[in-house]
Amino acid sequence: MELIIATTNQGKLKEIREILKGLGIKVKSLADFPGCPDVIEDGETFRENALKKAREVAAHTGRLTLADDSGLMVDALDGAPGVYSARFAGKNADDIKNNKKLLKMLKDTPDKERGAKFVCVLALVSPDGVEKVLKGVVKGRIAHGMRGARGFGYDPLFYYAPVRMTFAEMGPEEKNKVSHRARALAKLKEYLAV
């Protein structure tokens, strides 16, 4: 089986490849299809964005496509940054700028009000229009400063209490057992095994 991952995010791609390893699936990315259109993520939900990406890439490539839209939802910010996680600090934002903006917004927020969750929505779309949407969520809280050098995105700020570390302090194997993406991909593995 060949599966196109509709992303250019190398961090996401690496995690997805690692979690799907051993299933006999040949994983390709948008880098393997240079003429693929750049999908504008203008949906109001993770689901809308994931489906839009998967549909457009499946139509263009004629292959089974998996799209992921994920982000961080912070309780004290009424769920922000949410679907704007990647561009939270502006159009040309990067991980550092996004993390710094989040820390600044939460600087006076006490620990008990720093609850957050990572959400991952996966959309699997076949060229003939069969669609499956799967969701994974992991709860944690926002640390008072960036900790750890692994991972990407908001991993240095996302404190996961069961292991008393941020996602960026965890090794990839450990993170891939508990992350929002791992939880959604576990559901995908079950679905593909049927």
For 83-110, how does the pLDDT look when each residue is reduced to its tens digit (9 = 90+)?
Answer: 999 999 998 899 999 999 999 999 999 9
CA-CA distance, 125 to 44, in Å (whole number)? Answer: 20
pLDDT band at 11 (very low <50, low <70, confident <90, very high): confident
**115-144 pLDDT, tens digit each:** 999 999 999 999 998 999 999 999 999 999
Domains present along the chain, CATH in parentheses: 2-193 (3.90.950.10)
Around 85, how many Cα atoms within 13 Å sit in the side-chain half-sphere? 21
- Residue 164 neighbours by CB under 8 Å, 6+ apart: none
What is the per-residue pLDDT across 41-61, written as a single tens digit (0 to 9) for each?
899 999 999 999 999 999 999
Task: Considering the candidates 38, 69, 75, 111, report the single residue annotated as catalytic.
Answer: 69
**Residue 194 reports pLDDT greater than 70:** no
**32 among known catalytic residues:** no
Residue 34 has pLDDT above 90, yes or no: no
